[in-house]
Amino acid sequence: MTAADSSNPAAARVATRLHVDEPLAAGGTVGLDRDRAHYLRSVLRLSSGDAVALFNARDGEWLARLEGLGKGWASVAVEAQRRPPVAEPDLWLVFAPIKRARIDFLAEKASELGCSLLQPVLTRFTMVERVNVERLAANAREAAEQCERLSVPAVREPLALERLLDGWGESDETRGRRLVMADEGGAHDRSLPPLGDAVAAAAEEAGGAGGSWALLIGPEGGFAPAERERLAALPGIVRGTLGPRLLRADTAAVAGLALLQARVGDWR
Amino acid sequence: MTAADSSNPAAARVATRLHVDEPLAAGGTVGLDRDRAHYLRSVLRLSSGDAVALFNARDGEWLARLEGLGKGWASVAVEAQRRPPVAEPDLWLVFAPIKRARIDFLAEKASELGCSLLQPVLTRFTMVERVNVERLAANAREAAEQCERLSVPAVREPLALERLLDGWGESDETRGRRLVMADEGGAHDRSLPPLGDAVAAAAEEAGGAGGSWALLIGPEGGFAPAERERLAALPGIVRGTLGPRLLRADTAAVAGLALLQARVGDWR
């Protein structure tokens, strides 16, 4: 059996998984960009005939074979489907940007934890206002390639929190989407329910798991009083605590996403 | 009201929180080591009379005032208790060591998430065998100082997984301790229950939340078949999945700790 035995494409060993935007179908050919050609040739040391997997959310994952590989270019022949497309959780992470190493980490973790979209928001106390959206998207894509998901999270340009809330519930993509706020005030406010329980209760009210969700994580300095008031008054907002310790923004994001996936996502 | 107004020590503003091993009581004096003296003097730019908080698990958190501060030394006068000691979760993280940036991150997150002890274990597929225990302990301590917990996680020297399992349940500290295995095989094994549900069920069997727990996270290459068999046969082991994506070891640790704190720890 060769590495790219197409009699059982799902079991064939591949050197790597690559996300591509192009349509994937048997007999098709996909060209890879400069960076990825370099990665295949110089890092993985592949050559013509070697098997890789290509995937996207629309077409699933496909067994493919390197046709040609040169300096700065590669072409790949698509052979057979390894995995059909699947429905994935519709889970946004809305977060105030943080410093470089931590935001890179956050993009990686959010991708592994199945986020569909990363939306940076600027709040009153946000310390970091510039976001390298391209770098975040590259981190998210790389994590998606490693963790075996079929989609890659979208990464948007930063938006003022106020603007996001102005239209919340009115656009197609926010209508019915539950906003979940991991409330760092909870470290001192014992009246808030545990976040996992709050999410489970909101899901039950809405008739079960699934649906569309967004986890909101504030900046390291917390939300301003006016922002907290506005959020608390938002129809359908789900607020909960992540316990008595003060969590960093990146820790809160990972913990909150884990609780969401465990309660209403695809971990069950 | 001065910064160190001792009429309400809990509300007094302090420049920083420092964990110290020494007993803390009103009227006592604590000497700080070279690194911390440098931090107070040259990073925070404090001087005699400035207020800090000192804490440990035994005595709680205390308002204290810098008495003297020189090159490489500092002495601090303990004034009044800000927070009494509290019971904290008895939650171990048992993990196969990973590469430097990720293990530093892991120690920080485990501390924020309330771990009581970090135990590196060497498994068949562990790639990183040397662990800088001192550096991990420093990261864990710094995170404890920032997240407002009163204890600092202990960090142990690495131990072979087999040795840990040999004595499991027999020593004072492992008797009755539930070992929870975030089973990365779960990405492909649909028969495993979701980890949070498995933990909740185990707690219910044992008569409710609380008790002593340990989360076990395998190496990036997963457990060897013999290790998996031995673990599956361990009396009382709790196995569960963290969903259909393949998580990195550090992601699995943070997600698993969040689920444990949410289900049986102090997030409720």
pLDDT (tens digit, 9 = 90+) per residue, A68-84?
Answer: 998 889 999 999 999 99
Res. A211: pLDDT tops 70: yes
* Residue-level pLDDT at B1: 38
Per-residue pLDDT band for A127 (boundaries 50, 70, 90) equals confident
Res. A248: pLDDT tops 90: yes
Which chain A residue has the Cα nearest residue B88? A244
| φ/ψ (deg, to 5) at B138 | -65, -40
B243 with A114: Cβ contact below 8 A: yes
Q: For residues A106-125, give the mean pLDDT.
A: 97
CB-CB neighbors (< 8 A) of A108 in chain B = 248, 251
B105 with A109: Cβ contact below 8 A: no
CB-CB neighbors (< 8 A) of A266 in chain B = 243-244
Per-residue pLDDT band for A206 (boundaries 50, 70, 90) equals confident
Q: How far apart are CA B224 and CA B228, in angstroms?
A: 6
* Residue-level pLDDT at A71: 87
Percent of chain A at pLDDT exceeding 70:
96
- Domains located in chain B, CATH noted: 17-83 (2.40.240.20), 90-264 (3.40.1280.10)
CB of B242 closer than 8 Å to CB of B180: no
> Which segments of chain A does DSSP mark as H helices, in order?
34-38, 100-112, 133-147, 161-166, 195-205, 225-232, 249-264
Distance from CA of B82 to the nearest CA of A (A): 14
Q: How far apart are CA B220 and CA B235, in angstroms?
A: 25
Q: How far apart are CA B95 and CA B216, in angstroms?
A: 6
* Residue-level pLDDT at A23: 97
* Residue-level pLDDT at A2: 45
Q: How far apart are CA B137 and CA B152, in angstroms?
A: 9
* Residue-level pLDDT at A187: 53
* Residue-level pLDDT at A184: 72
CB-CB neighbors (< 8 A) of B93 in chain A = none
Residue type, B143: A
∠ at Cα B157 (B153, B159), nearest 5°? 115
CB of B118 closer than 8 Å to CB of B110: yes
Nearest CA-CA partner of A238 in A188, A190, A189, A177: A177
Q: How many angstroms separate the Cα of A27 from the Cα of each of A60, A63, A76, A81, A163? A: 15, 11, 10, 11, 46
B195 with A245: Cβ contact below 8 A: no
B146 with A246: Cβ contact below 8 A: yes
B246 with A105: Cβ contact below 8 A: no
Strand ranges in chain A using DSSP code E only, listed in sequence order: 17-19, 29-32, 51-56, 60-70, 73-83, 90-95, 117-122, 154-155, 159-160, 178-182, 212-217, 238-240
CB-CB neighbors (< 8 A) of B243 in chain A = 114, 261, 265-267
Q: How far apart are CA A169 and CA B108, in angstroms?
A: 37
* Residue-level pLDDT at A185: 60
Distance from CA of A187 to the nearest CA of B (A): 9
Mean model confidence pLDDT for chain A: 92
Res. A58: pLDDT tops 90: yes
Match 């590196």 to its residue by tokens.
Answer: B120
| φ/ψ (deg, to 5) at A140 | -65, -40
Q: How many angstroms separate the Cα of B116 from the Cα of each of A45, B137, B150? A: 44, 12, 11
∠ at Cα A263 (A89, A161), nearest 5°? 65
Which chain A residue has the Cα nearest residue B251? A109
* Residue-level pLDDT at B209: 75
Nearest to A258 among B258, B265, B266 (CB): B258
Q: How far apart are CA B181 and CA B199, in angstroms?
A: 10
Res. A188: pLDDT tops 80: no
* Residue-level pLDDT at A175: 94
Which chain B residue has the Cα nearest residue A268? B194
Q: How far apart are CA A144 and CA A136, in angstroms?
A: 12
Strand ranges in chain B using DSSP code E only, listed in sequence order: 17-19, 29-32, 51-56, 60-70, 73-83, 90-95, 117-122, 154-155, 159-160, 178-182, 212-217, 238-240
Which chain B residue has the Cα nearest residue A245? B147
Q: How far apart are CA B81 and CA B59, in angstroms?
A: 9
B267 with A243: Cβ contact below 8 A: yes
Distance from CA of A151 to the nearest CA of B (A): 11
A262 with B109: Cβ contact below 8 A: no
Radius of gyration of the CA atoms of chain A, in A: 21
CB-CB neighbors (< 8 A) of B262 in chain A = 194-196, 259
Q: For residues A146-171, give the mean pLDDT.
A: 95
Q: Which segments of chain B have a pLDDT < 70? A: 1-6, 185-189
Per-residue pLDDT band for A4 (boundaries 50, 70, 90) equals very low
Res. A1: pLDDT tops 80: no
* Residue-level pLDDT at B189: 65
Per-residue pLDDT band for A189 (boundaries 50, 70, 90) equals low
Nearest to B248 among A112, A251, A265 (CB): A112
Nearest CA-CA partner of A109 in B253, B218, B140, B131: B253
Residue type, B86: V
Distance from CA of A264 to the nearest CA of B (A): 12
Sign of CA dihedral A21, A24, A29, A32: positive
Q: For residues A186-197, give the mean pLDDT.
A: 78
Which chain B residue has the Cα nearest residue A144? B245
Mutate to test the interface with B, among A55, A88, A112, A246 (most CBs of B within 10 A): A112
Query: Which run of H or of E encompasses B103?
Result: helix B100-112
B244 with A266: Cβ contact below 8 A: yes
Mutate to test the interface with B, among A254, A263, A266 (most CBs of B within 10 A): A254
Res. A100: pLDDT tops 80: yes
Interface of B with A (CB under 8 A): 101, 105, 108-109, 112-114, 146-149, 187, 194-197, 241-248, 251, 254-259, 261-263, 265-268
B196 with A262: Cβ contact below 8 A: yes
Rounded (to 5) percent helix, strand, coil in chain B: 30, 25, 45
Q: How far apart are CA A246 and CA B149, in angstroms?
A: 8
* Residue-level pLDDT at A268: 83
| Residues sharing a CB contact under 8 Å with residue B205, sequence separation 6 or more, in sequence order | none
CB-CB neighbors (< 8 A) of B101 in chain A = 101
Between the ranges A149-163, A183-197, A210-224, where is the mean pLDDT highest? A149-163
B108 φ/ψ sector (left φ>0, alpha ψ -120 to 50, else beta): alpha
| Residues sharing a CB contact under 8 Å with residue B58, sequence separation 6 or more, in sequence order | B23, B85
Distance from CA of B260 to the nearest CA of A (A): 10
A258 with B259: Cβ contact below 8 A: yes
- HSE-CB at A94 with a 13 A cutoff on CA atoms is 23
Which chain A residue has the Cα nearest residue B146? A246
A112 with B254: Cβ contact below 8 A: no
**What single-letter DSSP state applies at residue B41?**
I
- Cross-strand partners of A92: A117, A214
Match 């009699």 to its residue by tokens.
Answer: A7
Strands A60-70 and A73-83: antiparallel
**What single-letter DSSP state applies at residue B266?**
T
Q: How many angstroms separate the Cα of B120 from the Cα of each of B76, B106, B205? A: 35, 11, 29
A147 with B246: Cβ contact below 8 A: yes
CB-CB neighbors (< 8 A) of A242 in chain B = 258, 267
